[in-house]
Structure 1
Amino acid sequence: MIAIIIAGAVALTLSIFGTPLFIKVLERRGFGQFVRDDGPTSHATKRGTPTMGGVAIILSVLIAYFLSHLVLWTSPSVTVLLVLFLMIGLGVVGFLDDYLKISQQDSTGLRPRYKLLGQFVIASAFAVLALLFPDVDGNTPASTQVSFVRDIPWLDFAFAGSVVGFLLFAIWANFLVAAWSNGVNLTDGLDGLASGATILFTVAYLIISFWQWRQVCSVDLDAGGVVQCYGARDPLDTAVLCAAIIGACVGFLWWNTSPAKIFMGDTGSLALGGAIAGLTIVTRTEILGAVIGGLFVIISLSVIIQVTGFKLTGKRVFRMAPLQHHFELKGWNEVTIVVRFWIVAGILAGLGLGLFYLDALPRLSS
């Protein structure tokens, strides 16, 4: 519990006081945001605002997490190290994309095939490593079983054998990483929207991870000897990482709220998306994550619907996609959109936590 408090407090402090220093560095180097001409006209004023703020978030998370272990003289868990690998790896891909956009003054950035290749290599490495390193109870950081609130027994990739099971899980992990990283990236279109939604998501996962850690494994004879506990490995350390991410994002949001002094860029959105994907995998709640992070899902679906609808009918379903820009073109104020979307994100996070708690009720009453 102390580690959670230390990680959150250190990350918040580093982020809220370190971000303005990073802003000055970016301004001196002229690393300003490039704004597309075909976007909402209100975004023209954002041209030149320092970007790549994701660097400040990542560094705050890393320093806070490792400092919490140094202070308490404990070892980092392999589970969280793998999630950090995913976060940093995708952050590097995003950094390259941001740098090319700035240096070339073009919205193209890193070519899509190279961006997808980078995501694929990092996600595949994570998937393979996450099925190794069992603890004393045999739990690995990830499971070949697809999970809702916990592993679904009848939905296990291992049915096809060890090698094919590894491959199927790698495909599943790649899908999750691509979906979450691109979901956060699409959400990062208005000041504070993505960082605020990420805070709400991560708060929910801090509660989930802490709850998983608090559950003591026991055999329920009435249920035929089924172990009534969660199979996640290192849940307390996962909660420490969640606290670090929350603190870093809250500190960053101080400077990212409208009118933003800095943007997280693809560096931040891809890194946070990778962290979110990793959290859903290592807590074994992949499907539940789609409820808790429902705002990211809705915004991603708006792009899919827009593209598919236009290809099939030649007409646009929304005035502009992602969804937040549709409301901008309808005349909604940017702050109004962000706050209302935060409310939606909070409701969905609460709904997901409710589903998680309902699963625990039979064990609490037994």
Structure 2
Amino acid sequence: MKSILIAAAIAMVVSILLTPYLIRVFSRQGFGQEIREEGPQGHKAKRGTPTMGGVAIIVAMWAGYGTSHIVSAMTGGRDTPTASGLLVLLLGTGLGIVGFLDDFIKIRKQRNLGLNKTAKMVGQLVVAIVFAILALRFPDERDLTPASDHLSFVRDIAIVSFGGIGFIVFCYLAVSAWSNAVNFTDGLDGLAGGASAMVLGTYVVISFWQFSHDCSRVREAACFDVRDPLDLAVVAAAAMGACIGFLWWNAAPAKIFMGDTGSLALGGLVAGLSMTTRTELLMIVIGGLFVVEMVSVVLQIAVFRTTRRRLFRMAPFHHHFELAGWAETTVIIRFWLLAGVCAMFGLGLFYADWLALGGGV
């Protein structure tokens, strides 16, 4: 528990202190956000706001994670970096690099389009494949690897197995879906950062619960076979703290945007956590806001191509309400409430499954 608290606290402090420095540097360099011409008119005033603030989130989460383990080692603790924790962090960082390139091209070409679809897809594909291959390696003494080639809800579903190649394909689909879903959500000040903090906080609880009821430590039917649950809780706590610290400057009216650097990194983190904690299908509930935002885009495109009419005033979904007359802060707060409800409902399903299998008996 001490490592989790240290990771969250250090990441939050680093993020709060580093972000204003990035605001000054990026402002001097002219690294300002380009705004979609067809977007809400009120957003045009945001043109030139520094972007790529996701750099602060990535640096802060690594600082929180690293510091927690250094303190643990200095105080005689046994909490050491693990394959699972490092792979999730590297997945998020790798996607953050893809997002950084996307943001940088937007800035240099002064347009709202960075990497083309093929280049971004290739970047996500390479990062996902490396993660998938490594996640099925590094077995511990129980022969558990960081991820499993079985589909999972709250734990592995034994009858649904992908196999090695199938898992790589599934991993790419999951990484691409979640990174793009968070990216779609990042359209209003603080929306993606606040929602991500709630999802990551939920995974702190889930991972720590899995650690407390690990099959190698307790004898109960509802125990969990997860390779490194405590370290995954530290990763989730560090990322959550980084998001909260960044929100200090990103909340409306935002002084800096996370850009694709942050949104793709956060999407990669939640995808990686879902696979390493064996909760891939449960993540659809926990990250329900991200799912709604992504589905709104898919539906908008599908309906427009088939009927030449728009289902929503504008997609992603949050823009629909802006164009309907809602104030931006109203949309943000109500969507945060939706994100919180989804996270709590997902946590409830997790706990209900544990009880149903005889947990605590």
Specify the TM-score bucket, using the shorter chain as the normaliser: over 0.9
Name the counterpart of 1:69: 69
Q: Which of 62, 83, 99 in structure 2 is aligned with 1:78?
A: 83
Instruction: State the Cα deviation string for residues 261-293 of structure 1 (Å, max 9, x = none).
Output: 000000000000000100000000000000000
What are the equivalent positions in structure 2 for 1:80-119 lying under 5 Å apart? 80-119=85-124
Between the aligned partners of 1:144 and 1:97, the Cα distance in structure 2 is 31
* 1:186 aligned onto 2:184: yes
Any idea what SS the aligned residue of 1:233 has?
coil
What are the equivalent positions in structure 2 for 1:270-281 lying under 5 Å apart? 270-281=264-275
Name the counterpart of 1:224: none
Name the counterpart of 1:142: 147
* 1:363 aligned onto 2:344: no
Instruction: State the Cα deviation string for residues 203-248 of structure 1 (Å, max 9, x = none).
Output: 111000000000042566xxxxxx5411111100100111101110
Between the aligned partners of 1:256 and 1:365, the Cα distance in structure 2 is 42
Name the counterpart of 1:127: 132
Between the aligned partners of 1:219 and 1:242, the Cα distance in structure 2 is 26
Amino acid paired to 1:331: G
Instruction: State the Cα deviation string for residues 91-133 of structure 1 (Å, max 9, x = none).
Output: 0000000000001001121111011001001101100100000
* 1:251 aligned onto 2:245: yes
**Cα distance change, pair 175–216 in 1 and its aligned pair in 2 (3 A):** closer
Any idea what SS the aligned residue of 1:213 has?
helix
Between the aligned partners of 2:214 and 2:124, the Cα distance in structure 1 is 36
Any idea what SS the aligned residue of 1:331 has?
coil
What are the equivalent positions in structure 2 for 1:127-276 lying under 5 Å apart? 127-157=132-162, 165-217=163-215, 228-276=222-270
Between the aligned partners of 1:67 and 1:202, the Cα distance in structure 2 is 19
Instruction: After TM superposition, give the deviation of residue 181 of structure 1 in Å.
Output: 0.1
Instruction: After TM superposition, give the deviation of residue 63 of structure 1 in Å.
Output: 1.1
Name the counterpart of 1:223: none
Between the aligned partners of 1:31 and 1:321, the Cα distance in structure 2 is 26
Query: Which sections of structure 1, spanning at least 5 residues, go unmatched?
Result: 158-164, 221-226
Identity %: 54
Q: Which deviates more from structure 2 when the two are superposed, residues 72-81 or residues 319-328?
A: 72-81
Between the aligned partners of 1:351 and 1:72, the Cα distance in structure 2 is 33
Instruction: After TM superposition, give the deviation of residue 364 of structure 1 in Å.
Output: 2.6
Name the counterpart of 1:29: 29
* 1:313 aligned onto 2:311: no
Name the counterpart of 1:53: 53
Any idea what SS the aligned residue of 1:364 has?
coil
Count of aligned pairs: 353
Runs of 4+ in 1 over 2 A off after TM superposition: 216-220, 362-366
Instruction: After TM superposition, give the deviation of residue 71 of structure 1 in Å.
Output: 1.3
Name the counterpart of 2:76: none
